Structure 1
Amino acid sequence: MTRPRPLPVDPLAEAKRQWIAHGWTDAADGMAVVTSVMRAQQLLLARVDAALKPFALSFARFEVLRLLAFSRAGRLPLSSVVARLQVHPTTVTSTAERLVRDGLVVREPHPHDGRAALLALTDTGRELVERATRSLNSEVFVDLGMSGDDAAELVAIVARLRKAAGDFADPRPHPEPL
Protein backbone atom coordinates (compact mmCIF):
# COMPACT_ATOMS: atom_id res chain seq x y z
CA MET A 1 0.00 0.00 0.00
CA THR A 2 1.45 3.35 -1.07
CA ARG A 3 1.53 5.95 1.65
CA PRO A 4 0.29 9.42 0.68
CA ARG A 5 2.64 12.37 0.97
CA PRO A 6 2.33 14.05 4.35
CA LEU A 7 0.48 17.35 4.42
CA PRO A 8 2.60 20.43 5.22
CA VAL A 9 0.36 21.28 8.18
CA ASP A 10 -1.68 19.19 10.60
CA PRO A 11 -5.30 19.69 9.47
CA LEU A 12 -6.60 18.81 12.93
CA ALA A 13 -4.47 21.51 14.55
CA GLU A 14 -5.79 23.93 11.92
CA ALA A 15 -9.36 22.84 12.68
CA LYS A 16 -8.76 23.56 16.38
CA ARG A 17 -7.33 26.97 15.49
CA GLN A 18 -10.44 27.69 13.42
CA TRP A 19 -12.72 26.53 16.23
CA ILE A 20 -11.06 28.99 18.58
CA ALA A 21 -11.09 31.77 15.96
CA HIS A 22 -14.85 31.28 15.52
CA GLY A 23 -15.47 31.68 19.25
CA TRP A 24 -15.97 28.02 20.11
CA THR A 25 -13.01 27.93 22.51
CA ASP A 26 -14.90 25.91 25.13
CA ALA A 27 -15.50 23.14 22.56
CA ALA A 28 -12.13 23.28 20.77
CA ASP A 29 -10.34 20.70 22.93
CA GLY A 30 -13.25 18.27 22.69
CA MET A 31 -13.47 18.68 18.91
CA ALA A 32 -9.72 18.08 18.65
CA VAL A 33 -9.92 14.93 20.79
CA VAL A 34 -12.88 13.45 18.91
CA THR A 35 -11.45 14.27 15.50
CA SER A 36 -7.98 12.99 16.43
CA VAL A 37 -9.29 9.70 17.80
CA MET A 38 -11.52 9.19 14.77
CA ARG A 39 -8.61 9.88 12.38
CA ALA A 40 -6.35 7.52 14.35
CA GLN A 41 -9.08 4.87 14.09
CA GLN A 42 -9.15 5.33 10.29
CA LEU A 43 -5.37 4.95 10.06
CA LEU A 44 -5.28 1.85 12.26
CA LEU A 45 -8.27 0.24 10.59
CA ALA A 46 -6.64 0.67 7.17
CA ARG A 47 -3.57 -1.22 8.43
CA VAL A 48 -5.71 -3.92 10.05
CA ASP A 49 -7.82 -4.33 6.89
CA ALA A 50 -4.68 -4.69 4.77
CA ALA A 51 -3.25 -7.34 7.10
CA LEU A 52 -6.54 -9.31 7.17
CA LYS A 53 -7.35 -9.03 3.45
CA PRO A 54 -5.37 -12.16 2.45
CA PHE A 55 -7.52 -14.13 4.90
CA ALA A 56 -10.83 -12.71 3.63
CA LEU A 57 -11.57 -11.47 7.14
CA SER A 58 -12.96 -8.21 8.40
CA PHE A 59 -11.86 -7.09 11.86
CA ALA A 60 -15.34 -8.01 13.17
CA ARG A 61 -15.00 -11.56 11.83
CA PHE A 62 -11.46 -11.80 13.20
CA GLU A 63 -12.61 -10.65 16.66
CA VAL A 64 -15.27 -13.37 16.87
CA LEU A 65 -12.82 -16.06 15.75
CA ARG A 66 -10.10 -14.82 18.13
CA LEU A 67 -12.53 -14.67 21.06
CA LEU A 68 -13.64 -18.25 20.40
CA ALA A 69 -10.02 -19.39 20.07
CA PHE A 70 -9.20 -17.78 23.43
CA SER A 71 -12.05 -19.65 25.16
CA ARG A 72 -11.20 -22.91 26.93
CA ALA A 73 -13.35 -25.13 24.73
CA GLY A 74 -13.39 -23.04 21.55
CA ARG A 75 -17.09 -22.29 22.03
CA LEU A 76 -19.15 -19.61 23.72
CA PRO A 77 -22.82 -18.71 24.00
CA LEU A 78 -23.83 -16.08 21.48
CA SER A 79 -24.79 -13.79 24.38
CA SER A 80 -21.23 -14.01 25.78
CA VAL A 81 -19.77 -13.03 22.40
CA VAL A 82 -22.11 -10.01 22.30
CA ALA A 83 -21.14 -8.94 25.84
CA ARG A 84 -17.40 -9.40 25.43
CA LEU A 85 -17.15 -7.68 22.06
CA GLN A 86 -19.53 -4.91 23.21
CA VAL A 87 -21.50 -4.85 19.97
CA HIS A 88 -25.18 -5.11 19.11
CA PRO A 89 -26.61 -8.66 19.02
CA THR A 90 -27.68 -8.17 15.39
CA THR A 91 -24.07 -7.43 14.43
CA VAL A 92 -22.80 -10.61 16.08
CA THR A 93 -25.61 -12.67 14.56
CA SER A 94 -24.83 -11.35 11.09
CA THR A 95 -21.10 -11.91 11.54
CA ALA A 96 -21.71 -15.41 12.91
CA GLU A 97 -23.91 -16.29 9.91
CA ARG A 98 -21.07 -15.40 7.54
CA LEU A 99 -18.59 -17.38 9.61
CA VAL A 100 -20.93 -20.39 9.60
CA ARG A 101 -21.44 -20.03 5.83
CA ASP A 102 -17.66 -20.06 5.36
CA GLY A 103 -17.19 -23.14 7.57
CA LEU A 104 -15.18 -21.26 10.22
CA VAL A 105 -17.69 -21.71 13.06
CA VAL A 106 -20.73 -23.88 13.68
CA ARG A 107 -23.84 -23.19 15.72
CA GLU A 108 -24.53 -25.71 18.44
CA PRO A 109 -27.50 -25.97 20.79
CA HIS A 110 -26.81 -24.66 24.27
CA PRO A 111 -26.57 -27.62 26.67
CA HIS A 112 -28.67 -25.93 29.41
CA ASP A 113 -30.80 -23.32 27.61
CA GLY A 114 -32.92 -24.53 24.73
CA ARG A 115 -33.46 -20.97 23.51
CA ALA A 116 -29.75 -20.13 23.26
CA ALA A 117 -27.05 -21.14 20.82
CA LEU A 118 -23.33 -21.68 21.13
CA LEU A 119 -20.80 -20.61 18.54
CA ALA A 120 -18.04 -23.17 18.15
CA LEU A 121 -14.80 -22.74 16.27
CA THR A 122 -14.10 -25.34 13.55
CA ASP A 123 -10.60 -26.67 12.88
CA THR A 124 -10.55 -24.55 9.71
CA GLY A 125 -11.55 -21.47 11.72
CA ARG A 126 -8.88 -22.14 14.34
CA GLU A 127 -6.16 -22.52 11.71
CA LEU A 128 -7.27 -19.36 9.90
CA VAL A 129 -7.44 -17.21 13.03
CA GLU A 130 -3.96 -18.35 14.09
CA ARG A 131 -2.51 -17.33 10.70
CA ALA A 132 -4.45 -14.04 10.72
CA THR A 133 -3.23 -13.30 14.27
CA ARG A 134 0.38 -13.83 13.23
CA SER A 135 -0.17 -11.40 10.35
CA LEU A 136 -1.80 -8.74 12.57
CA ASN A 137 0.95 -9.12 15.15
CA SER A 138 3.77 -8.68 12.64
CA GLU A 139 2.16 -6.11 10.32
CA VAL A 140 0.26 -3.95 12.82
CA PHE A 141 0.57 -4.64 16.54
CA VAL A 142 4.38 -4.93 16.87
CA ASP A 143 4.99 -1.44 15.45
CA LEU A 144 2.16 1.06 15.84
CA GLY A 145 4.46 4.02 15.21
CA MET A 146 4.69 5.01 18.87
CA SER A 147 6.81 4.04 21.84
CA GLY A 148 5.69 1.47 24.38
CA ASP A 149 5.35 4.24 26.97
CA ASP A 150 3.16 6.31 24.63
CA ALA A 151 1.05 3.23 23.84
CA ALA A 152 0.53 2.51 27.55
CA GLU A 153 -0.36 6.14 28.24
CA LEU A 154 -2.83 6.23 25.34
CA VAL A 155 -4.50 3.01 26.48
CA ALA A 156 -4.79 4.39 30.01
CA ILE A 157 -6.30 7.67 28.79
CA VAL A 158 -8.81 5.92 26.55
CA ALA A 159 -9.66 3.48 29.37
CA ARG A 160 -10.55 6.42 31.61
CA LEU A 161 -12.78 7.82 28.85
CA ARG A 162 -14.43 4.42 28.36
CA LYS A 163 -14.95 3.93 32.11
CA ALA A 164 -16.50 7.40 32.46
CA ALA A 165 -18.88 6.51 29.61
CA GLY A 166 -19.98 3.37 31.50
CA ASP A 167 -18.13 0.91 29.27
CA PHE A 168 -16.84 -1.10 32.23
CA ALA A 169 -16.36 -1.00 36.01
CA ASP A 170 -13.16 -1.67 37.87
CA PRO A 171 -12.82 -5.28 38.92
CA ARG A 172 -13.43 -6.10 42.52
CA PRO A 173 -10.25 -6.27 44.56
CA HIS A 174 -8.94 -9.78 45.04
CA PRO A 175 -8.44 -10.93 48.62
CA GLU A 176 -4.88 -11.34 49.82
CA PRO A 177 -3.74 -14.95 49.61
CA LEU A 178 -3.66 -16.78 52.94
Structure 2
Amino acid sequence: MTDRRLAIAAWESLFRAQHEVLAEISRDFEDDDLSSAEYDVLLTVTRCEGHTARLRDVTANMLISQPSVSRLVDRMVARGLVAKCPDPNDGRGAVLRATEQGAAMFRRLATTHGRTIAERMSVLTDDELAELERLTARLRGV
Protein backbone atom coordinates (compact mmCIF):
# COMPACT_ATOMS: atom_id res chain seq x y z
CA MET A 1 0.00 0.00 0.00
CA THR A 2 1.21 3.51 -0.85
CA ASP A 3 2.42 5.66 2.04
CA ARG A 4 -0.24 8.38 2.23
CA ARG A 5 2.09 11.08 3.56
CA LEU A 6 4.68 10.34 0.90
CA ALA A 7 2.00 10.39 -1.80
CA ILE A 8 0.75 13.79 -0.62
CA ALA A 9 4.29 15.19 -0.35
CA ALA A 10 5.13 13.95 -3.86
CA TRP A 11 1.90 15.42 -5.24
CA GLU A 12 2.56 18.79 -3.61
CA SER A 13 6.12 18.83 -4.95
CA LEU A 14 4.92 17.93 -8.46
CA PHE A 15 2.18 20.58 -8.32
CA ARG A 16 4.56 23.30 -7.10
CA ALA A 17 7.21 22.39 -9.67
CA GLN A 18 4.62 22.47 -12.45
CA HIS A 19 3.32 25.84 -11.26
CA GLU A 20 6.80 27.41 -11.03
CA VAL A 21 8.07 26.00 -14.34
CA LEU A 22 4.87 26.98 -16.16
CA ALA A 23 5.05 30.52 -14.77
CA GLU A 24 8.62 30.83 -16.04
CA ILE A 25 8.11 29.40 -19.51
CA SER A 26 4.83 31.30 -19.97
CA ARG A 27 6.83 34.53 -20.12
CA ASP A 28 7.56 33.64 -23.75
CA PHE A 29 3.99 34.68 -24.57
CA GLU A 30 3.95 38.04 -22.76
CA ASP A 31 5.21 40.14 -25.69
CA ASP A 32 4.04 37.92 -28.52
CA ASP A 33 1.08 37.98 -30.89
CA LEU A 34 0.17 34.39 -29.94
CA SER A 35 -1.36 33.44 -26.60
CA SER A 36 -0.32 30.18 -24.96
CA ALA A 37 -3.74 28.70 -25.82
CA GLU A 38 -3.36 29.68 -29.50
CA TYR A 39 0.13 28.20 -29.45
CA ASP A 40 -1.31 24.93 -28.09
CA VAL A 41 -3.87 24.79 -30.91
CA LEU A 42 -1.17 25.42 -33.52
CA LEU A 43 1.14 22.89 -31.84
CA THR A 44 -1.46 20.17 -32.28
CA VAL A 45 -2.40 21.21 -35.82
CA THR A 46 1.15 21.64 -37.13
CA ARG A 47 2.22 18.25 -35.78
CA CYS A 48 -0.39 16.54 -37.95
CA GLU A 49 0.06 15.61 -41.59
CA GLY A 50 -0.64 18.54 -43.86
CA HIS A 51 -0.91 20.83 -40.81
CA THR A 52 -4.50 19.61 -40.50
CA ALA A 53 -6.26 18.18 -37.43
CA ARG A 54 -9.79 17.37 -36.42
CA LEU A 55 -11.27 19.86 -33.99
CA ARG A 56 -12.09 17.09 -31.54
CA ASP A 57 -8.40 16.03 -31.49
CA VAL A 58 -7.37 19.61 -30.79
CA THR A 59 -9.97 19.81 -28.00
CA ALA A 60 -8.70 16.55 -26.48
CA ASN A 61 -5.20 18.04 -26.19
CA MET A 62 -6.33 21.27 -24.56
CA LEU A 63 -6.78 21.89 -20.86
CA ILE A 64 -9.88 24.02 -21.38
CA SER A 65 -13.51 23.09 -22.04
CA GLN A 66 -14.87 22.25 -25.49
CA PRO A 67 -16.94 25.46 -25.72
CA SER A 68 -13.84 27.49 -24.79
CA VAL A 69 -11.81 25.72 -27.48
CA SER A 70 -14.54 26.42 -30.04
CA ARG A 71 -14.55 30.15 -29.19
CA LEU A 72 -10.73 30.23 -29.28
CA VAL A 73 -10.68 28.54 -32.69
CA ASP A 74 -13.28 30.97 -34.03
CA ARG A 75 -11.08 33.88 -32.92
CA MET A 76 -8.07 32.22 -34.56
CA VAL A 77 -10.04 31.80 -37.80
CA ALA A 78 -10.94 35.50 -37.69
CA ARG A 79 -7.25 36.37 -37.19
CA GLY A 80 -6.23 34.20 -40.15
CA LEU A 81 -4.20 31.72 -38.07
CA VAL A 82 -6.26 28.62 -38.95
CA ALA A 83 -8.91 27.68 -41.47
CA LYS A 84 -11.92 25.64 -40.35
CA CYS A 85 -13.92 23.37 -42.65
CA PRO A 86 -16.40 20.54 -42.25
CA ASP A 87 -14.90 17.13 -41.45
CA PRO A 88 -15.57 14.91 -44.50
CA ASN A 89 -15.58 11.84 -42.22
CA ASP A 90 -17.88 13.29 -39.54
CA GLY A 91 -20.77 15.52 -40.54
CA ARG A 92 -20.90 17.06 -37.06
CA GLY A 93 -17.17 17.70 -36.80
CA ALA A 94 -14.70 20.19 -38.19
CA VAL A 95 -11.15 20.09 -39.47
CA LEU A 96 -8.58 22.77 -38.73
CA ARG A 97 -5.69 23.66 -41.01
CA ALA A 98 -2.88 26.01 -40.05
CA THR A 99 -2.64 28.90 -42.49
CA GLU A 100 0.75 30.07 -43.77
CA GLN A 101 0.52 32.99 -41.32
CA GLY A 102 -0.42 30.73 -38.39
CA ALA A 103 2.31 28.19 -39.16
CA ALA A 104 4.92 30.95 -39.51
CA MET A 105 3.91 32.55 -36.20
CA PHE A 106 3.98 29.14 -34.53
CA ARG A 107 7.45 28.28 -35.89
CA ARG A 108 8.88 31.62 -34.77
CA LEU A 109 7.59 31.25 -31.22
CA ALA A 110 8.29 27.49 -31.05
CA THR A 111 12.01 28.16 -31.50
CA THR A 112 12.09 30.56 -28.56
CA HIS A 113 9.72 28.52 -26.43
CA GLY A 114 11.62 25.28 -27.06
CA ARG A 115 14.85 26.97 -26.00
CA THR A 116 13.22 28.31 -22.82
CA ILE A 117 11.86 24.87 -21.94
CA ALA A 118 15.19 23.17 -22.60
CA GLU A 119 17.06 25.72 -20.49
CA ARG A 120 14.59 25.38 -17.59
CA MET A 121 14.67 21.57 -17.74
CA SER A 122 18.49 21.49 -17.97
CA VAL A 123 18.69 21.16 -14.18
CA LEU A 124 17.90 17.48 -14.83
CA THR A 125 20.13 14.98 -16.62
CA ASP A 126 18.93 13.23 -19.75
CA ASP A 127 18.32 10.08 -17.70
CA GLU A 128 16.28 12.07 -15.16
CA LEU A 129 14.26 13.71 -17.96
CA ALA A 130 13.51 10.28 -19.45
CA GLU A 131 12.45 9.02 -16.02
CA LEU A 132 10.28 12.10 -15.46
CA GLU A 133 8.57 11.57 -18.80
CA ARG A 134 8.00 7.90 -17.99
CA LEU A 135 6.60 8.67 -14.53
CA THR A 136 4.28 11.46 -15.67
CA ALA A 137 2.99 9.29 -18.52
CA ARG A 138 2.26 6.58 -15.97
CA LEU A 139 0.39 9.07 -13.77
CA ARG A 140 -1.67 10.10 -16.82
CA GLY A 141 -2.46 6.44 -17.53
CA VAL A 142 -0.70 6.49 -20.89
TM-score of the superposed pair, with normalisation by structure 1? 0.69
1:60 aligns with 2:37: yes
| Alignment match, 2:137 | 159
Query: For structure 2, which runs of at least 5 residues remain unmatched after alignment?
Result: none
CA gap of 1:157–1:114, structure 2 versus 1, over 3 A, is: closer
Structure having the larger proportion of residues in strand: 2
**Which residues in structure 2 correspond to 1:79-158 (within 5 Å)?**
79-83=56-60, 85=61, 87=63, 88-144=65-121, 145-158=123-136
| Larger gyration radius, structure 1 or structure 2 | 1
| Alignment match, 2:53 | 76
Q: 2:90, 2:118 → 1: CA distance?
A: 38
Q: 1:161, 1:63 → 2: CA distance?
A: 21
**Secondary structure in 2 aligned to 1:55?**
coil
Deviations 1:100-122 (A, max 9, x none): 23221121122243322111111
Give yes or no for contact 2:34–2:105 (8 Å, CA) kept in 1: no
TM-score of the superposed pair, with normalisation by structure 2? 0.84
Deviations 1:115-138 (A, max 9, x none): 221111111100000011101111
Give yes or no for contact 2:81–2:101 (8 Å, CA) kept in 1: yes
Structure 1 ranges of 4+ moved more than 4 A? none
1:40 aligns with 2:17: yes
Aligned residues: 138
